[in-house]
Amino acid sequence: MLNDHAAYMGTKAGTDHVVRCVAHEFGKEGIRANSISPGLTESPMTEQAMSVPGLHEAFVAGYPLGRIGTSDDIAAAAVWLASDECFMSGENLQVNGGLTLRRNPTNDDIAASVAKASGAA
């Protein structure tokens, strides 16, 4: 459960730079290119992990908006990015309830929260 996410984070950063290059290259043709970086999102993919006692609380505590995002939150951002009202290109839209204003919980934060929820702390 507690993994090093360096490869995942590096891939996301690389994708952001590709988006910037595409936006620059094709902007003259009226093509916009942007990306979305969702925070932890309630979904079938995260359901099992979020059922671990204390894990949900460990993440929610770091979100300034006080909740985990939903697929509707991400979809609304995607619809706006695809709309003609969006005058933005080459950018990464952080749809994460303000999480990047702070930091993701560390492995120690998560372990302590899980231990507390299981009565081990």
Q: Tell me what the pLDDT averaged over the chain comes to.
A: 88
Each residue of 6-17: pLDDT tens digit? Answer: 888 889 899 999
The architecture that CATH gives domain 6-117 is 3-Layer(aba) Sandwich (3.40)
Check: CB of residue 39 under 8 Å from CB of residue 93. Answer: no
**What's the confidence (pLDDT) of residue 121?**
54
Per-residue pLDDT band for 56 (boundaries 50, 70, 90) equals confident
110: left (phi over 0), alpha (psi -120 to 50) or beta: alpha
Catalytic residue among 8, 53, 64, 106: 8
- In the beta sheet, which residues pair with residue 70? 42
Per-residue pLDDT band for 40 (boundaries 50, 70, 90) equals confident
Residue 2: is its pLDDT beyond 60? Answer: no
Per-residue pLDDT band for 120 (boundaries 50, 70, 90) equals low
Provide the residue ranges of all domains of the chain, joining segments of one domain with +.
6-117
Verify whether residue 8 is a known catalytic residue.
yes
The residues near 20 (Cβ < 8 Å, ≥ 6 apart) are: 33, 90
**What's the confidence (pLDDT) of residue 16?**
94
Residue 1: is its pLDDT beyond 50? Answer: no
**What's the confidence (pLDDT) of residue 9?**
81
